[in-house]
A and B are shown apart, each in its own frame.
Chain A
């Protein structure tokens, strides 16, 4: 009030901004990269918020999560899992939140103008958190953003291309991305990761990219690191109904973004890395099933297998025809056909379709 009175006396002191002027970012995250980028690469770094997503049960078969069904061909099942399943512990992207050009050895600044949306935060209003990975990529189409694709499903019911997905998601989703991921701060929970965290309210440890054993991230934006855990620790913890402990608690870090840059080491592009540019269409991690059409789907360059419906209880007699994506696709994914059932699965009460007595001529199982 004294300042206001002084202003009245002095007459005209401050400059009114209104809605104009620079917009200060809510947080600035600095990133440096080490290593050798691809030749002529248009390097950029993106902050990608992660999605809560569970891998489908079939992808856990034979990896310690679920035993292989002895009635199935183990080689065929292993081949379709290898061709169509993403890393069950990998970081699943939801949205590119910020993007900046990157030069090796020079820090790049990612300015966050908005907070992460409720769709990428897990928890309720009193305790929720979002995790992000800093993804370094070669922006091959030079559009200045990380293009995130979705798995390519076989054409459904005579539809063109895999984009329609037969109800698997929006038909406008791109199934190909030209951008090549060459490094990330958070690739999988099985390796050491450095993640961008945004926390609101209290912190409750959950199965959403857990860091059990490390201190809780501070409220607001922070940079957090953890050592990762082993696959066996994850299986054991799941069986006990808890979350796996980090292997090396001395690697736990919780710090403010302003205390220094995050270093990302560039590596050779790989399918595991490329999954950071692949999101999942359904947000609830449920598997959608398809009704087999009279015409055979185009299975060119796709790996297929006949498998018994994965079950955590009594073995199921339902046989699925499972189709993986094509080798040249940007993202991996599986499509499931069943002779009798609904979109939600074979055990849906009154089935929406039933071809069990007269399967299509192409049905291979």
Chain B
């Protein structure tokens, strides 16, 4: 009986909210409308480390894209991620900063966005190594170095206009970097929230 009373209360309050002119959600809240040419997005970033043989490098990514109106977009992206891995002799921490210029083929279907994104640019890798057990022995053995790797990414992007100017986007795809003269494959993934004013 108490449950039914609670449910009735919820339904009545919902009805009252619907009738309230100062409500949070309007009829056009989820409507799709054409925004400007720019989309700014930021969110979570994950990738295979640029120069470590194992692990998942996690961090943040952000970007700006300008739509040309002809199914083609271009823009800039940046991401920062870090990962620590250890062996019997080393604990290695690397952070990767990926800076990309990109072009994007875009198709809009209702609320949805499908795109293929090709990016290119440098990946800055900073490495810090600590010799295992050396801190315990009182004589820390460590080294640091930084390198710049040419890289390219190809990402498939799925976006959804959720509400107003807000877009949820997922992008996943392969990446290649040139490390010590060798081409090295990997992957990247991003889960971001876009804003299209």
| B81 CB, nearest partner CB in chain A, Å | 15
Give the residue of A3, A7, A219 whose beta carbon is less than 8 angstroms from that of B148: A7
**A17 touching B127 by the CB < 8 A rule?**
yes
B137 touches A8 (CB 8 A): no
Contact at A16–B179, with CB atoms within 8 Å?
yes
Contact status B179-A11, CB under 8 Å: no
Residues from chain A with a CB closer than 8 A to the CB of B148 are 7-8, 11-13
Complex: how many Å from CA A335 to CA B17?
A: 91
Within 8 A of B (CB), among A174-231: 198, 200, 219-221
A18, A114, A219 pick with most chain B CB within 10 angstroms: A18
Q: Which of chain A's residues 3-51 have a Cβ closer than 8 Å to chain B?
A: 3-4, 7-8, 11-19, 23-24, 26-27
- A318 partner residues in chain B, CB cutoff 8 A: none
Which residues of the other chain, A, contact B53 by a CB distance below 8 angstroms?
18-19
Contact B146 A4 (CB under 8 A): yes
What mask results when residues 158 to 187 of chain B are scored 1 for a CB within 8 Å of chain A, else 0?
Answer: 000000000000000000000110000000
Tell me how far the C-beta of B127 lies from the nearest C-beta in chain A, rounded to whole angstroms: 5
User: Is A76 part of the contact surface with B, judged by Cβ < 8 Å?
Assistant: no
B53 (CB) vs chain A CBs: closest residue: A18
Q: Does A348 count as interface, using CB distance less than 8 angstroms? A: no
Does A82 count as interface, using CB distance less than 8 angstroms?
Answer: no
A115 at the interface (CB under 8 A from B): yes
Interface of B is mostly: strand
Q: How far is the CA of A219 from the CA of B52 in the complex (A)?
A: 34
Interface residues of B in 64-114 (CB under 8 A from A): 85, 87, 89-90, 92, 94
Q: In the complex, which of the residues B92, B137, B144, B180 contacts A220, with contact meaning CB atoms closer than 8 Å? A: B137
- A229, B24: Cα distance in complex, Å: 88
Q: Tell me whether A19 and B133 are in contact (CB under 8 A).
A: no
CB closest chain-B residue, reference A3? B146
Inter-chain CA distance A113–B180, complex, in Å, is 28
- Which B residues are CB-close (under 8 A) to A26? 131, 133-134, 137, 139, 141
Residue contact B92 to A14, C-beta cutoff 8 Å: no
Q: Which chain B residues lie closer than 8 Å to A24 at the CB level?
A: 131, 141
Choose one: A19, A114, A198; the contact of B90 (CB below 8 Å).
A19
User: In the complex, which of the residues B87, B122, B139 contacts A19, with contact meaning CB atoms closer than 8 Å?
Assistant: B87
Q: Which A residues touch B125, using CB under 8 A?
A: 16
Residue B6 at the A interface, CB < 8 A?
no
**Chain A contacts for B124, CB-based, 8 A:** 4, 7-8
Whether A19 lies near B147 (C-beta < 8 A) is no
Q: In the bound complex, what is the Cα–Cα distance between A27 and B85 (angstroms)?
A: 24
* Chain B, Cβ-Cβ closest to A112: B137
Whether A16 pairs with B147 at a CB distance below 8 angstroms is: yes
Residues of chain B in range 109-164 having any CB-CB distance to chain A below 8 Å:
122, 124-127, 129, 131, 133-134, 136-139, 141, 143-149
Minimum CB–CB distance for B183 against chain A, Å: 15
B129 to chain A: which residues have CB within 8 Å?
Answer: 17
B51 proximal to A (CB < 8 A): yes
Residues of B contacting A14 in the complex (Cβ-Cβ under 8 angstroms): 127, 144-147
Docked-complex contact A115 and B133, CB < 8 angstroms: yes
Q: Which residues of A contact B52 (CB under 8 A)?
A: 18
Q: A7 — which chain B residues lie within 8 A by C-beta?
A: 124, 146-148
CB-based contact B127/A221 at 8 Å: no
A313 vs B187: C-alpha distance when bound (angstroms): 75
User: Contacts of B137 on A, CB cut-off 8 Å?
Assistant: 26-27, 115, 198, 220-221
Of the listed residues A3, A17, A19, A113, the one surrounded by the most CB atoms of chain B closer than 10 A to its CB is: A19
- For B141, list chain A residues within 8 Å (CB): 24, 26
Complex Cα gap A4–B125 (Å): 9
Chain B contacts for A198, CB-based, 8 A:
137
| Residue contact A220 to B138, C-beta cutoff 8 Å | yes
Judge whether B136 and A115 touch: CB under 8 Å: yes
A181–chain B nearest beta-carbon distance, Å: 28
Q: Is the CB of A219 within 8 A of B131?
A: no
Q: Which B residues fall within an 8 A CB radius of A?
A: 51-53, 85, 87, 89-90, 92, 94, 122, 124-127, 129, 131, 133-134, 136-139, 141, 143-149, 179-180
Enumerate 15 A-B pairs (CB-CB under 8 Å) in ascending A order. Answer: A7-B148, A12-B149, A15-B147, A16-B127, A17-B92, A18-B52, A18-B127, A19-B85, A23-B90, A23-B131, A24-B141, A113-B89, A198-B137, A219-B138, A220-B139
CB within 8 Å of B: which residues of A?
Answer: 3-4, 7-8, 11-19, 23-24, 26-27, 113-115, 198, 200, 219-221
User: Which 6 residue pairs across A and B have the least CB separation, nearest first?
Assistant: A14-B145, A220-B138, A12-B148, A7-B146, A23-B89, A19-B87
